[in-house]
Amino acid sequence: MKLKTLEISGFKSFGKKATLVFDAPITAIVGPNGSGKSNVAEAFRWVLGEQSLKSLRGKRGEDLIFSGPQAGTNLNRASVAVIFDNSDRGFDLDYDEVKISRSVFRDGTNEYSINGSNVRLRDILELLSKVSLGNSGHHIISQGEADRILLVSMSDRRTMIEEALGLKLYQWKLDESEKKLTKTEDNKKQVESLRREIAPHLKFLKKQVEKIERTDELRRELKNLYREYLKREKTHLDYWQTEISQAKGRVSQELQALDTQISHLSETLNLENVGSAEQKAITQTEEALRRLHSRRDEISRQLGRLEGVIEVKQARLGKNDEETDRLIPLEALRQLGAELKIDLDQALREDEVTALQKIVSRVREHLDRFLTAFEHSTVESDLQTELTKLKSDQKNLEAELKTLAQDESQLLAEISRLKQTIRQAEDSTRGAERDLFELKTRRGELNSKRSELSAKEETWRHEESSYKREIEEALVLVDREILLFAEEVISVDKVIKEDRSLQEERRRQIEKIKIRLEDMGVEGVEVLEEFKEVTERDAHLAKELIDLETSATALKEIMAELREKINQEFQTGIKKINQAFQEFFEAMFGGGSAKLEIITPPVRKNRELKILSDEEVLDVVDEETVIKEGIDINVSLPKKRIKGLAMLSGGERALTSIALLFAMSQVNPPPFLVLDETDAALDEANSRKYARMVTNLSTHSQLIVITHNRETMAHAGILYGVTMGADGISRLLSIRFDEATEYAK
């Protein structure tokens, strides 16, 4: 990589555009004081990213813009561009030529560009740091600042050397990694805080969802029971509707025929009233039997509901066993009663007040002991009372069922007896009378049959009403899919032959589940949606936390690698610089020694109190503060007892700093070095030494030397002269020494 051109326009004294071409190893810039030749060095410093206006001899950004002595000659913009030959790709850019530009306007705004594209200052600094052109300025040495590297602190000196070694880019990456790590740790804390905030709500929602899932499970179970129950009930109702209707039709037809025959025989024998009392009794008895069957069915349904309620109450009572007190044992009450009875009997026999008071005191002690032992009210008393009442109702209904069964047997026996009476009457009549009696008996049977069918029809209507009510409840508790039971086919024989008690058991199970669902309550869909949303957010945060932890681990590894790389390359670079420093120092002073040493400053300790609790201070802890290593310079002049920088004269300091800067440039040579009158304080002999070193340096870096020294000028390939006219504008004149030599010949 080579420096090709410097373009200056409107910068300081360069009111008109000036171009300096650097196609020789050493370029010298000369001119009288005040002509603006040092502005060339400052133009280099400024375009390469210098931010300190003080080092550019200004206070504000507009101080860098040309201001002529006459009104109307002021410019509004200053710009400097430096152009490099990048054919060797020293810059990591796919261009053969790289142009870095910087402009400043009167309002202080700065613009930076690379090959015409606007970029950030950071982009330029990173690009330059890769070729040892950082912003520490070690490659641009101005008049009076040659010994700056000797005056700065050990820590700043280390920074300058790191930049000269090309380590600034690694240091930037290390700083960026530290910032990213800090931000990552902050983000981890925020994510962890968010997870802690939503955890209680997520736990609550999870319980609600589990409750909803249990409810859904019960609904599914209820749906299956409903479908099985309803399809069987529909088949049962359809079958008996047809059977009862057909049977009633047959009975009606037969009764009409019997009535005709009986009427004819009655007219003949005038025996219309024979057996009428017994037949009436049979009819009444059969009606009572129908009412008994209806009551039995109603009690069965009530028992199903009661069993469901009792099961729920018992479940609640069992759940509260650990939370409620026990009931007072009957034996404790009996014991208390016995003790009180003894004391009261004794009181009745006593006449003295003192004795009575003692007895009353004992009674009070008995009561206090009893109340102390059973002072807690039974929380479960209400549930127990309800459960007791429900069980009592259950027992009453079961007892009534037994009574109804007994009554049914008695009614059937009575009907049998009445029929037997009628049959006996038939036997005692004559043939016609017997026929009439038989007809009437048959009519009674048919009337009884018709009554029985009417009772069955009433039972059927009641069952149909219950069936329709169950469908309505099923639509509310389940969904309209429950109606699909009507499409399912089941054998009529299978339903009719099945014991009706099994269907009643299905209804009881349905009632139990309905009660449990009512007790659990029905949750909204919003809970499920919120649970899904919160769960997804928690999962996202958990994944984000893992990503952050992975990122933090990766950053720590990168930082460790960067520190190791910086340390290794720094140690290697120091050795190389010391070797070159010694060589340049010996050339400057004819001997002696010079060396850079890595110094670790003493560790500063902070004493802090270790607080283990709000009130107790147990120990004192020493905490060490780590301080960055610095660079010290040790020199020893030949034939003198001078050791250390403090004992050097001004000229000796200048030569020492030049030797060090030259040594630094040898290790990781920058594309160019700018030396602004660094030879001003040298005598003729040292000037020759200086010139020889400059010539040696030019084999590694291009040199731009601003000088008054003839010895230095003599080694330059191109000489630029800077002049300034009455208009205050710096102008350039140039000459190539090889061309001048040919011309002189």
3-state secondary structure 461-515: HHHHHHHHHHHHHHHHHCCHHHHHHHHCCCCHHHHHHCCHHHHHHHHHHHHHHHH
pLDDT of residue 624: 44
pLDDT of residue 611: 43
User: Mean per-residue pLDDT for 199-223?
Assistant: 78
User: Mean per-residue pLDDT for 62-76?
Assistant: 78
Of the candidate ranges 224-228, 427-431, 487-491, 711-715, the one whose mean pLDDT is the lowest: 427-431
Pick from 573, 566, 581: which is nearest to 161 by CA? 573
CA angle 257, 259, 263 (to 5 degrees): 125
Per-residue pLDDT at 615 exceeds 50: no
Per-residue pLDDT at 620 exceeds 50: no
pLDDT tens-digit series, residues 5-50: 999 999 988 988 999 999 889 999 998 888 888 889 889 989 988 8
Instruction: Find out whether 695 and 26 touch, Cβ atoms under 8 Å.
Output: yes
Of the candidate ranges 100-104, 599-603, 618-622, the one whose mean pLDDT is the lowest: 618-622
Per-residue pLDDT at 79 exceeds 90: yes
Q: Is 484 left (phi over 0), alpha (psi -120 to 50) or beta?
A: alpha
**How are beta strands 672-676 and 140-141 bridged, if at all?**
parallel
pLDDT of residue 467: 81
Beta bridge partners of 5: 21, 83
Element (H, E) at 114: strand 110-114
Q: Specify the 3-state DSSP secondary structure of 45.
A: helix
pLDDT of residue 104: 92
User: Mean per-residue pLDDT for 621-639?
Assistant: 69
Instruction: Name the percent of the chain lying above pLDDT 90.
Output: 9
Bigger pLDDT: 740 vs 238? 238
Bigger pLDDT: 459 vs 114? 114
User: Mean per-residue pLDDT for 168-190?
Assistant: 86
Bigger pLDDT: 329 vs 361? 361
3-state secondary structure 595-659: EEEEECCCCEEEEEEEECCCCCEEEEEEEEECCCCEEEEEEECCCCCCECHHHCCHHHHHHHHHH
Please give the C-alpha separations between residue 252 and each of 246, 278, 449, 455, 458, in angstroms, as whole numbers.
Answer: 10, 22, 10, 16, 18
Instruction: Name the percent of the chain lying above pLDDT 70.
Output: 85
Q: Which CATH number among 3.30.70.100, 3.40.720.10, 3.40.50.300, 3.40.50.150 corresponds to the domain 1-133+672-745? A: 3.40.50.300
**How much is the mean pLDDT over the chain?**
80
Q: Highest-confidence range of 206-210, 294-298, 383-387, 730-734, by mean pLDDT?
A: 730-734
The CB density around residue 498, as the number of other CB atoms within 10 Å, is 12
pLDDT tens-digit series, residues 457-496: 888 888 888 888 887 777 777 777 777 666 667 778 888 8
pLDDT of residue 487: 66
Q: Highest-confidence range of 84-98, 123-137, 510-524, by mean pLDDT?
A: 84-98
CA angle 504, 508, 510 (to 5 degrees): 115
Pick from 42, 49, 53, 55: which is nearest to 14 by CA? 42
Of the candidate ranges 491-495, 544-548, 573-577, 719-723, the one whose mean pLDDT is the lowest: 491-495
Domain ranges of the chain: 1-133+672-745
Bigger pLDDT: 181 vs 686? 181
Reading the block at residue 487, the tokens are 């499409």
Pairwise CA distance, residues 733 & 411, whole Å:
145
pLDDT of residue 303: 80
pLDDT of residue 691: 84
User: Mean per-residue pLDDT for 702-730?
Assistant: 88
- Half-sphere exposure in the Cβ direction for 649 (13 Å, CA): 7
CA angle 593, 597, 598 (to 5 degrees): 175
User: Mean per-residue pLDDT for 495-520?
Assistant: 81
Bigger pLDDT: 374 vs 350? 350
Pairwise CA distance, residues 543 & 509, whole Å:
47
Helices (H), 668-727: 684-697, 710-714
In one-letter notation, the amino acid at residue 604 is R
pLDDT of residue 280: 83
Helices (H), 320-352: 330-349
Bigger pLDDT: 282 vs 665? 282
In one-letter notation, the amino acid at residue 440 is K
| Close Cβ partners of 152 (under 8 Å, ≥ 6 residues apart) | 160
Instruction: Find out whether 460 and 237 touch, Cβ atoms under 8 Å.
Output: yes
Of the candidate ranges 293-302, 324-333, 404-413, 692-701, the one whose mean pLDDT is the lowest: 324-333
pLDDT tens-digit series, residues 213-250: 777 777 777 777 877 777 777 888 888 888 888 888 88
Q: How confident is the model at residue 117 (pLDDT cuts 50, 70, 90)?
A: very high
pTM of the model: 0.49
Per-residue pLDDT at 608 exceeds 90: no
Pairwise CA distance, residues 492 & 243, whole Å:
13
Bigger pLDDT: 147 vs 494? 494
Q: How confident is the model at residue 622 (pLDDT cuts 50, 70, 90)?
A: very low
